[in-house]
Structure 1
């Protein structure tokens, strides 16, 4: 038995829950029915600073605040807002899913490689969308369309897929919102029609409220997992054994589950560390009947913009972001991101493509990037 599993926690272990210091509710959000449920949960979590704003604009940062101070304040703040029309029009999200739906924007975790640093502008406040019905409404009209899983020979069994974790970790804020459970139950019972499925990735482990939901095997929960040498960059999240135990609990409750192994980094001893990770997952799901397990593998990359933001947020980070050790990859729009050199990518990919079927044969590899 792998060493980590000797101390694998039971589901009685208290999950890692985020409690914001400040909750702001915009004027428009106060008119939404779902806001009452959010405020009930916020009160139950013990948040004392809850402000009902008289406008829809969030307060500006105090004058003289440093970038690090602004980051800390924003990360401790949850805002309840109304998603504008521009966010209610789902966008394709390859290679993950046919379409993206945003329950929220922003994440409470403190991952030093955070890709949101280059994707979302402004202070990293977690913005929860109160107009939940409007966010979920496009599912019915879009089911049957899409270019990733819909009509795909490789992934057709997933139906039309809707990604919930492009700009947030929905499980990390679920105890404060209830939005994720609503989405899972509505899709699971066919309220939005047949043929649709949800998917999201998480680094948290508070899965107990999801276990008894009528999910109808229409929501795939993927856990972001990594080697121990990379986990140290993931502040404020559940530890790896807790995530793996949570994955096993959801699988036994009938959910399709998955691994998002990301961001893969060639840290010291990476073969042994990633091998141990795969062994631990294999042990956690060994007793699951009708297991539906996928894997998505994403290597580390960064952009000049995300590097600048991350170094402002985490000035002492040991995360490797040396452009001279990377290969520049340019998009058709002229943007650039730095990935590992071709030789390193080939070595990493070759190892995973051999190790996955050997150590975790139940997993279906969806893509590598």
Structure 2
């Protein structure tokens, strides 16, 4: 059934498109060894594989490609990018793409007609860069919406780290590295419950942000993810394992009866989370954005989902922070809808601090 698979069941890798330089690295060899039956095809670039990302017919195999294909490359640019929303910095990605298939995901907007996982094998360079970057920042001068004391680095902007952890040890290495950085904290959003992460011993230096939305809409849009009820139920276990655990109310999709569905979910969250989990929790609230190019791709594999998220009658064009031309809910209505949800949160989950909302 859609949305019920464990992380390892998401992947049945048959082909690995690999840059030669990645195959020379220990992490690259580890990835190949995890799927000994996969065919390894050398390519000049793992980010834009000819016949995969540029082939319009790949849309017909959207989910199958995510299941059977990996790309293996070397991260060329090591740069931490300022964010100041969810995190202070966006760390250099150690993966790009996802085995899950959420209809609204922004990553495929850059990828063409396919979005399998690309994993970067030069993890030692990434970790070394981050250690030096954190050291240069020194102590955080004061609290902000990202964190009261630590510099926060998002390590999963273009992928889901819970699934990346199945492909390689990159996520484990990052959690281990941040454990030794008293002035910094790693952070990633996820829609997958990977209980193997409970053994990583983060010691409070990694923040997991479980993304949630009402169950009915999640069943339609969150394709191949852990059910929302499982994500909510996992919060206490991850807190007990040493993670800081926040919630992403994201994306908020407006439709007939949407606020009533959010009320039910917030009541469920209030019932399930323990006092300890509530005491450390915070939330981000993000209303849906979409993209015309992704809309056209989605029509080829999940048209029913587009009925919910492509709404020209209530959406308008916007240029996002990353420079992309997207669509969002019309500003005058979005402001009203956002406030209604925030008011509902204040009523149903008064303990849940909202770090930022847009």
Q: Which TM-score bucket, shorter chain as reference?
A: 0.7 to 0.9
User: Pick from 196, 212, 221: which aligns with 2:208?
Assistant: 221
Q: Secondary structure at the match of 2:185?
A: strand
Is the contact made by 1:41 and 1:175 (CA closer than 8 Å) also made in structure 2? no
Q: Secondary structure at the match of 2:82?
A: coil
User: Pick from 178, 190, 193: which aligns with 1:205?
Assistant: 193
User: Pick from 28, 31, 37: which aligns with 1:35?
Assistant: 28
Change (3 A) 1:42 1:98: farther
Question: Aligned-pair RMSD on alpha carbons?
Answer: 2.8
Provide the aligned length of Structure 1 versus Structure 2: 344
TM-score by length of 2: 0.85
**What displacement does 1:335 show?**
5.5
User: Pick from 290, 296, 308: which aligns with 2:296?
Assistant: 308
Change (3 A) 1:75 1:122: same
- Alignment partner of 1:366 is 2:348: no
What's the CA shift string for 1:230-285, capped at 9, x where partnerless?
A: 20111111111111112221022231111111110123322221112122222222
Q: Secondary structure at the match of 2:217?
A: helix
Is the contact made by 1:328 and 1:339 (CA closer than 8 Å) also made in structure 2? yes
Q: Secondary structure at the match of 1:111?
A: coil
Q: 2: CA distance between counterparts of 1:37 and 1:158?
A: 36
What's the CA shift string for 1:123-172, capped at 9, x where partnerless?
A: 312101111111222222222678xx874444442511110121101102
Is the contact made by 2:175 and 2:186 (CA closer than 8 Å) also made in structure 1? yes
Change (3 A) 1:54 1:306: closer
What's the CA shift string for 1:167-221, capped at 9, x where partnerless?
A: 1011023122121122112211x1xx431110000110112x2223231201000
Change (3 A) 1:206 1:331: closer
Is the contact made by 2:108 and 2:114 (CA closer than 8 Å) also made in structure 1? no
- Alignment partner of 1:234 is 2:216: no
Q: How does 1:134-283 map to 2 (within 5 A)?
A: 134-143=125-134, 151-188=142-179, 190=180, 193-207=181-195, 209-231=196-218, 232-283=220-271
Change (3 A) 1:16 1:335: closer
State the partner residue of 2:337.
Answer: 348
TM-score by length of 1: 0.83
State the partner residue of 1:110.
Answer: 101
